[in-house]
Protein backbone atom coordinates (compact mmCIF):
# COMPACT_ATOMS: atom_id res chain seq x y z
CA UNK A 1 0.00 0.00 0.00
CA UNK A 2 2.78 2.40 0.90
CA UNK A 3 4.63 1.70 -2.34
CA UNK A 4 1.45 2.32 -4.34
CA UNK A 5 0.83 5.62 -2.53
CA UNK A 6 4.45 6.66 -3.10
CA UNK A 7 4.21 5.88 -6.81
CA UNK A 8 0.97 7.85 -7.07
CA UNK A 9 2.56 10.74 -5.20
CA UNK A 10 5.52 10.67 -7.60
CA UNK A 11 2.96 11.09 -10.41
CA UNK A 12 1.29 14.05 -8.65
CA UNK A 13 -1.72 11.88 -7.80
CA UNK A 14 -2.57 11.59 -11.50
CA UNK A 15 -3.02 15.36 -11.82
CA UNK A 16 -0.88 17.59 -14.00
CA UNK A 17 0.60 20.27 -11.71
CA UNK A 18 -0.46 23.05 -14.09
CA UNK A 19 -4.10 21.97 -14.02
CA UNK A 20 -4.72 21.41 -10.31
CA UNK A 21 -8.16 22.58 -9.22
CA UNK A 22 -9.61 23.31 -5.79
CA UNK A 23 -11.45 20.00 -6.05
CA UNK A 24 -8.08 18.23 -6.37
CA UNK A 25 -6.78 20.12 -3.35
CA UNK A 26 -9.84 19.19 -1.29
CA UNK A 27 -9.54 15.53 -2.26
CA UNK A 28 -5.86 15.46 -1.34
CA UNK A 29 -6.54 17.20 1.98
CA UNK A 30 -9.20 14.60 2.81
CA UNK A 31 -6.83 11.79 1.90
CA UNK A 32 -4.04 13.32 3.99
CA UNK A 33 -6.37 13.60 7.00
CA UNK A 34 -7.27 9.91 6.76
CA UNK A 35 -3.61 8.92 6.41
CA UNK A 36 -2.75 11.13 9.40
CA UNK A 37 -5.42 9.35 11.46
CA UNK A 38 -4.01 5.96 10.49
CA UNK A 39 -0.47 7.04 11.40
CA UNK A 40 -1.65 8.55 14.70
CA UNK A 41 -3.39 5.27 15.52
CA UNK A 42 -0.43 3.08 14.60
CA UNK A 43 2.18 5.26 16.33
CA UNK A 44 -0.11 6.23 19.23
CA UNK A 45 0.12 9.93 18.56
CA UNK A 46 -2.42 12.74 18.42
CA UNK A 47 -5.83 11.63 19.65
CA UNK A 48 -4.45 8.10 20.10
CA UNK A 49 -1.60 9.09 22.42
CA UNK A 50 -1.47 7.34 25.77
Exposed, middle or buried, 24 (CB in 10 Å: 0-12/13-18/19+)?
middle
**For residues 12-22, average pLDDT:** 91
The residue ranges of every structural domain in the chain are: 23-50
* Beta carbons of 49 and 37 less than 8 angstroms apart: no
**For residues 13-20, average pLDDT:** 91
State residue 17's pLDDT score: 87
Q: Measure the CA–CA gap between 50 and 19, rounded to whole angstroms.
A: 42
Q: Is the pLDDT of residue 34 over 90?
A: yes
State residue 40's pLDDT score: 98
Percent of the chain with pLDDT over 90: 92
Residue 8 sits at φ, ψ, to 5 deg, of -65, -40
Q: 40 Cβ partners below 8 Å, 6+ apart? A: 46, 47, 48, 49
Amino acid sequence: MVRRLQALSDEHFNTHPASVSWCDVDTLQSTAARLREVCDSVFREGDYAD
